[in-house]
Amino acid sequence: MESVKKRHHEIRSGSMAVATGLSAFLAAGILMMIHVQLAIVPLAGFVLVCLAAPFFPCIGFYAPVVCRGAAGGSAVALTFDDGPDPLTTPPLLALLKDRRVTAAFFVTGENAAAHPGLIEDIVRQGHLVGNHSFGHSTRIFFKRVAAVVEDIEAAQEVLAGCGVRPQVYRPPVGIVSPRLAPALLKTGMTLVNFSCRPMDRGNRRLGGIAARVLKRVQEGDIVLLHDRKPPDPNRLPDWLKEIADIMDGIQARGMKVVPLSDLIGMPVMVRLDNRYNVADTESRER
């Protein structure tokens, strides 16, 4: 019951687009009786909101979205997008193991297909796996709903071959388009975005990642980070230090890192076979 309450509390409803549109048309109708040209103002405002909304990952304008945990807790969750990557994933897993931290990896089907062993390593070490599209293309959201469904299911198929079925989906760059809501309905996925990000441009902007996260992070945040190689592979130690500093800084602020499933009160993935140590993985999820 507690998890249900927590989940309902944090889901931002996609009905906002419908409500905003109806309000805009109602306002336009009222203003038209005063002056015809005034009716343009609320309609133009609605169009601008519709164009801007996809780029605000936490407002839930077009689709119900989970973007943080329940209020009042002292915990946050770390999530890593875009992997797995043979350069960054193994040392990141070693760092997380050393700090006894459970993270969620939102992986692409393309990278999972190229490196299935890394998916198995992620899950075997007790971490969670989410669906981050197949090829990480933002162009997919300009296509028909069927194409979005196909992209999500293609990633699901690859990950099923790795023994896991994600229950949550994060779109590329967190963009929530009008086509995403029906696609999620058809695939049975829950949209999980983020509430704290360092604007690291996919690890192309390494300097100050920890400082930017720690300046913004609050209780209940879902933190966005990236599991992908920097443009200069020699800077891998710098990236790992930034991640370590984030974990240290969160602890110094009296907070703790918990599994994403605990923070949002719902399962992130399901294991499909016995290739993993189920007992160990389940204990980490709790």
Active-site positions?
81, 226
Structure tokens at 227: 């599991």
Tell me how far apart the alpha carbons of residues 158 and 33 are, in angstroms, rounded to a whole number: 57
- Residues 237 and 245 sit within 8 Å (Cβ to Cβ): no
> Could you write out the DSSP letters of every residue in 90-104?
HHHHHHHHHHT---E
Q: What is the DSSP letter of 111?
A: H
Count Cβ atoms within 10 A of the Cβ of residue 5 and give its class: 0-12 exposed, 13-18 middle, 19 or more buried: exposed
Q: What is the DSSP letter of 13?
A: P
Name the 3-class secondary structure at 127: coil
Identify any residues that bridge with 25 across adjacent strands, giving them in sequence order: none
Phi, psi of 166 (to 5 degrees): -60, 145
Tell me how far apart the alpha carbons of residues 258 and 235 are, in angstroms, rounded to a whole number: 28
From first CA to last CA, the distance across the chain in angstroms is: 16
- Residues 265 and 3 sit within 8 Å (Cβ to Cβ): yes
Backbone Cα Rg of the chain: 20
Name the strand (E) or helix (H) holding 244. Answer: helix 236-252
Q: What is the DSSP letter of 65?
A: E
Tell me how far apart the alpha carbons of residues 128 and 259 are, in angstroms, rounded to a whole number: 8
